[in-house]
Structure 1
Amino acid sequence: MHHILCGLAANPALSSELVDHLISVADDDIATELACRADLSHVQAVALAERVEGSAVQLAYAGRLTAADVDPSVRPDVALALLDQGVGRPEWARLLAADPVRERREKLAACPGLPSDVLDTLAADPDVRVVAELALWTTPDVAARLAAHPHAEVRRAVAANEATPPAVLAALLTGEGLPAARRCLVCDREETPFVHDRQCPRLDCELPPGASCDGSHESTVHDMREAALRNAATPVEAVVGFVDHPSMLLRWPLAARQDLPREACARLASDPVPGVRADLAENPVIDDALIRVLAGDRDPDVRRRLAHHPRVPLDVLTQLARTAKIGNALLPRIATASPAEVEELAKSPDPAARMLVAHRRDLPPEIRDRLADDPDAKVVKALAPHPGLTEAQLRAMVDRHGVRVLAKVATNPDAPPALLEELVRHKPTVQKVFREVARHRGATATALLVCLTDKQARPIAARHPALPPPVAVELLVDAEGQVREAAAANPSLPPAVISDLVHQQ
């Protein structure tokens, strides 16, 4: 029955009176579904929050609760959710800054728009985890002040904060102009020198694997530099010196920076770590010459990522389409191709080029229709979901290419009901077709009944509004809870059945 109640809670056909009844019996799972209802009134939201404490935070983040609905001394977590949304009251922040539960002070430290006196209180918190959380999200002036904090963990958080002033980030990266840190999480807990076992057997140990300190807090300082290198606000003049750093973890963040000079990019293009070269390959800052160098990279992931570069030349992209597994997505360079380039790709003798452009969903009718008759199945498969294709064209695709295009034809928004019925009966079967038809807005009762025979498509079909009401009722006693829940959420259920199910509780 619990699966059914969860499904009913999400059923758009549920009346307001029945929503009230479900609120009165809701548990955490039912409340989660009720809280997502678009028709939930403010009065109902308040009642649900009072019934199930755990739903109150969800409702606050969804904008269903206001400051007037919350007493921070009774529901501090809900007050924190509203503060996090920027709609809480300043006096709440002052109250919560002194909360004895560290996790709440830590959550408060991440909230925007805190009063200056609360920022000062959190910056002086006795638990360094609270101060570090503040450092990660706070304003430029507070971040600049915390950059000189004696604890290295706080400085690491400052280095990750994009609001930190660039000059401060540069100082954290180089160490110039700042006093040395005196503590870190390692020497807080262990006698130095200490290196944390990566296979540490202690269940209560909170240190990261490999964390170490010999008095210089080296692992935290390394993490701080990595954070600063990943921070887009760190000046490029301060980061280029790390291009040849012996630590892979410090070189790697540079590959994604969009302010690197060409010389630095060229050095990263020959980095021994494939992941560094792969991140660089997708970086819009690299020029055509470097793109062509990376197109010949021995690592397949580098070539795949290069295909997603927004300015990759079309001839290089066509080559990559033949040699790299670039997937079935529309690539950025193809999405911005000019009409002339679209025409050129569509007329290419290379099926890889035609397949690339076939992924667009805004093709001119004449190009779309030409590609619909393409002899290559991969081209047709890419084009099949394109809106505007006629029933005759979709049927011709199936006749020529069979199982290779069935699932994609089933995703076409204009696929007529009769064709969908034929697709689910096609021999040999294609399992994915059942799932695609089950979620298609044009699926008929006849097609959905066939989809119910497939295990993966069954819960999808059980929720479809075109399913005959008697069938939806039968599925309420299905052996699978997921299917029962989907059937209970089906708006085609008879109102009397919905009412009876709700009032059984």
Structure 2
Amino acid sequence: MDHVLCGLAANPALSAELVDRLISVADDHIAASLAGRADLSRTQAVALAERVEGSAVRLAYEGRLTAVDIDPSVRPDAALALFDQGVGRPEWARLLAADPVRERREKLAACPGLPADVVDRLAADPDVRVVAELASWTVPEMAARLAAHPHAEVRRAVAGNESTPPGILAALLKGEGLPTARHCLVCDREQIPFVHDRQCARLDCDLPAGASCDGSHESTVNAMVKAALRNPATPVEAVVGFVDHPSMLVRWTLAARPDLPRQICARLASDTGPGVRADLAENPALDDDLIRLLARDRDPEVRRRLAHHPRVPLDVLTHVARTARTGAVLLPRIAAASSTEVEELATSPDPVARVLVARRRDLPPDIRDRLADDADAKVVKALAPHPGLTDAQLRAMADRHGVSVLAGVAANPDVSPALLEDLVRHEPAVRKVFREVARHRRATDTALLVCLTDGRARPVAAGHPALPVPVIEELLADADWRVVEAAAANPSLPPAVAADLVHRR
């Protein structure tokens, strides 16, 4: 792979003439970079597709190639990309439905707006995987028809299709009103009873791990049940009976449904499976009593997930945040807090509450400034990237709290170039600071040169337009290919140097 040319192909400052030159010598890797260019013309897109067949699919998805540019008999995959966006020609569908490559028929079956005769043909495809793919995406009428298909894999797909009529989904769950399935992928291939070894070493085997059949197609039926439980179109009265299902995975799937009655949520809140309770903890169907119950759960993952519940009371959220790792993210309940609640959190004597609200990036100036002077380093660390802080405030935060807040200060959009230079020279060094500075729009050449000394920041800094030109040229020969590509893609690379690199290869 020529990493210099791959980088140049992504360089936004490259002239149209040099783009044409790269197209003429492109391989798969160079073509991948060229196909992502915002300035690629239709003529260039057509030329690139002719040069590198594999690029046609991406170009079609990005709208660079249209139906007038594609011959489906020559570029069937690109034609399928247009069908996937609903802009393929009907006559193409008839051609592609007869394609000898199963994967293409399968891809076609997932496309919207297919002619009725093509849908009928795909529904009768000799490969059940094609029929199952159709069943996953088709319209209600066809979904209802395929629910009675003799193959359990097709029924599993119907169960996951949100267009399937609710009555059909209920019938699939209850196993009533439909003829018994006669086949599954397991008994199609193996002598039953059979359980697929989870460590199967057969290179030609594509059965799911643990797939099994004793004549009842049990693993596929189990997958069908879970698909129907996940499907929001399945009537809630059809799913509640699975609250005591012997399979924890089935109960786990049920716990995520946002339309569960209160009594079902209460049963799941005491489930023996921590994964069940964890998924339930984020469920908007929970009332305050169940939220408070789960806040005392012995499993830290349950409490962590509860922190992401959109309606968790603030006192519960603060309690949970003390006992579980909630991550350095703005939690939904904090994002939705009223101005009064923001004020209460910011003035709370509990630093955990102040940390939570400090992660907002739309704080009123008076609250933002008050938190900037907070005595707790964790509060200041959470606030440091907040826009609107002055350079004096950011310097004071760095001086007062040191290494714990430096990366946040470096990530602040309003930090001054001079402070960025000071941050990369800080002793002891904070490696994350180098990465933040390397991508900062205000970084100076002085700061970027220091960032180049850090292995993880080096590829980022190599692409920064403020880097001195001689350094960019030197990095084109770097031992790290990521640095080479970033330097070649740097818009500050002189046009003459770019031209020389292209014409020398």
User: Fold-level match, TM-score > 0.5?
Assistant: yes
Question: More deviation in 492-501 or 418-427?
Answer: 492-501
How big is the shift at 1:103?
0.9
2:490 alignment partner in structure 1: 490
Distance in 2, matches of 1:483 and 1:219, equals 48
2:194 alignment partner in structure 1: 194
Note the 1:278-289 alignment, pairs <5 A.
278-289=278-289
Distance in 2, matches of 1:483 and 1:402, equals 30
1:388 alignment partner in structure 2: 388
1:347 alignment partner in structure 2: 347
How big is the shift at 1:198?
2.2
1:401-451 CA-partner distances (Å, limit 9, x unpaired)? 000000010000000000000000000000010000000000000000000
1:102-143 CA-partner distances (Å, limit 9, x unpaired)? 111111000010010000000000110110010011111100
Note the 1:41-120 alignment, pairs <5 A.
41-120=41-120
2:23 alignment partner in structure 1: 23
How big is the shift at 1:268?
0.4
1:207-260 CA-partner distances (Å, limit 9, x unpaired)? 222222121111111111111111111100000000011111111111110110
1:439-467 CA-partner distances (Å, limit 9, x unpaired)? 00000000000001111111110000000
1:260-293 CA-partner distances (Å, limit 9, x unpaired)? 0000000000111111101100111100000000
How big is the shift at 1:202?
2.0
Look up the SS of the partner of 1:405 in the other structure: helix
1:234 alignment partner in structure 2: 234
Look up the SS of the partner of 1:477 in the other structure: coil
Moved over 6 A (4+): none
Look up the SS of the partner of 2:54 in the other structure: helix
Distance in 2, matches of 1:390 and 1:154, equals 61
How big is the shift at 1:395?
0.4
2:478 alignment partner in structure 1: 478
Distance in 1, matches of 2:199 and 2:22, equals 48
Output the amino acid matched with 1:258.
P
2:431 alignment partner in structure 1: 431
How big is the shift at 1:200?
2.3
Distance in 2, matches of 1:42 and 1:361, equals 41
2:185 alignment partner in structure 1: 185
Distance in 1, matches of 2:322 and 2:198, equals 42
Distance in 2, matches of 1:342 and 1:439, equals 31
How big is the shift at 1:33?
0.5
Look up the SS of the partner of 2:456 in the other structure: coil
1:270-321 CA-partner distances (Å, limit 9, x unpaired)? 1111111011001111000000000000000100000000000000111111
Distance in 2, matches of 1:495 and 1:198, equals 56
1:309 alignment partner in structure 2: 309
Look up the SS of the partner of 2:290 in the other structure: helix
1:139 alignment partner in structure 2: 139
1:16-57 CA-partner distances (Å, limit 9, x unpaired)? 010000000000010000000000001100000000001000
Output the amino acid matched with 2:353.
A
Output the amino acid matched with 1:388.
G
Look up the SS of the partner of 1:393 in the other structure: helix
Output the amino acid matched with 2:170.
A
Distance in 2, matches of 1:93 and 1:117, equals 10
Output the amino acid matched with 2:5.
L
1:502 alignment partner in structure 2: 502
Note the 1:99-498 alignment, pairs <5 A.
99-498=99-498
How big is the shift at 1:197?
2.1
1:352-401 CA-partner distances (Å, limit 9, x unpaired)? 00000000000000000000000000000000000000001000001110
How big is the shift at 1:191?
1.8
Look up the SS of the partner of 1:357 in the other structure: helix
List gaps (5 residues or longer) in structure 1.
Answer: none
Question: More deviation in 436-445 or 476-485?
Answer: 476-485
How big is the shift at 1:62?
0.7
Question: More deviation in 194-203 or 290-299?
Answer: 194-203
Look up the SS of the partner of 1:243 in the other structure: helix
Output the amino acid matched with 2:496.
A
Distance in 2, matches of 1:419 and 1:216, equals 69
Look up the SS of the partner of 1:450 in the other structure: helix
Look up the SS of the partner of 2:402 in the other structure: helix
Corresponding position: 1:35 with 2:32: no
How big is the shift at 1:201?
2.8
Provide the TM-score with structure 1 as the length reference: 0.99
Output the amino acid matched with 1:411.
A
Distance in 1, matches of 2:427 and 2:210, equals 56
Q: 1:57 to 1:430 in 2, by over 3 A?
A: same
How big is the shift at 1:477?
1.1
How big is the shift at 1:206?
2.0
1:327-361 CA-partner distances (Å, limit 9, x unpaired)? 11000000010000000000000000000000000
List gaps (5 residues or longer) in structure 2.
Answer: none
How big is the shift at 1:474?
1.0
1:163-204 CA-partner distances (Å, limit 9, x unpaired)? 111100000000110000011111111122222222223221
How big is the shift at 1:494?
1.1
Distance in 1, matches of 2:79 and 2:242, equals 44
